[in-house]
Amino acid sequence: MKKPSGKAYYMISAVAQKYNIHPQTLRLYEREGLLKPSRTEGNTRLYSEEDLEQLETILSLTRDLGVNLAGVEIILNMRRKIEQMQSEVNEFMEYVKREMARGIDDWEQRLSTALVKSSPTDLVRHQKASGERQK
């Protein structure tokens, strides 16, 4: 994978030094699928800002909370799924809002061309009133 331009990237030695971890630990995280740094044409690992954020999460889970790598993998997968589901819920809500707005516009258009002018609240009040009288 080629390095995309315009973003900051860090070599493995700089990342290891910054986070006080051994480069082999970073390689292990990559083998386990927890990190996916991009590569230069010469196969040098390059860590993006997103990779560093992921690494910080991994280190927080392992160092601060004592989670093992299997647990880290499960947690990261669950986070990804939750984010995906949240995105889908947001898309669905936008769709519902658009459809409701379109439905209201259609209703208002039908009412404006109706022979008898009434609003939905008039119909509800009228039905309630006639229903109460029948009791």
- The model's pTM is 0.67
Q: List residues bridging with 45 in a β-sheet.
A: 39
Q: How many CB atoms lie within 10 A of CB 29?
A: 22
pLDDT at residue 78 greater than cutoff 60? yes
pLDDT at residue 63 greater than cutoff 80? yes
What pLDDT is recorded for position 90? 96
What pLDDT is recorded for position 73? 97
pLDDT tens-digit map of 80-133: 999 999 999 999 999 999 888 888 777 777 777 766 666 656 555 555 555 555
Distances in Å between the Cα of 66 and the Cα atoms of 53, 61, 63, 114 are: 18, 6, 6, 69
Distances in Å between the Cα of 90 and the Cα atoms of 80, 85, 98 are: 15, 9, 12
Contact 17, 10 (CB under 8 A): no
Q: List residues bridging with 47 in a β-sheet.
A: 10
What pLDDT is recorded for position 102? 83
Among 126, 125, 123, which Cα is nearest to 114's?
123
Structure token pair of residue 119: 């609003």
Query: What is the average per-residue pLDDT within 61-65?
Result: 96
What pLDDT is recorded for position 58? 98
What pLDDT is recorded for position 4? 53
What pLDDT is recorded for position 110? 75
pLDDT tens-digit map of 35-52: 999 999 999 999 999 999
Distances in Å between the Cα of 36 and the Cα atoms of 19, 23, 26, 30, 112 are: 17, 14, 10, 6, 59
> Domain 10-67 - what CATH class?
mainly alpha
* All structural domains of the chain with their residue ranges: 10-67, 88-134
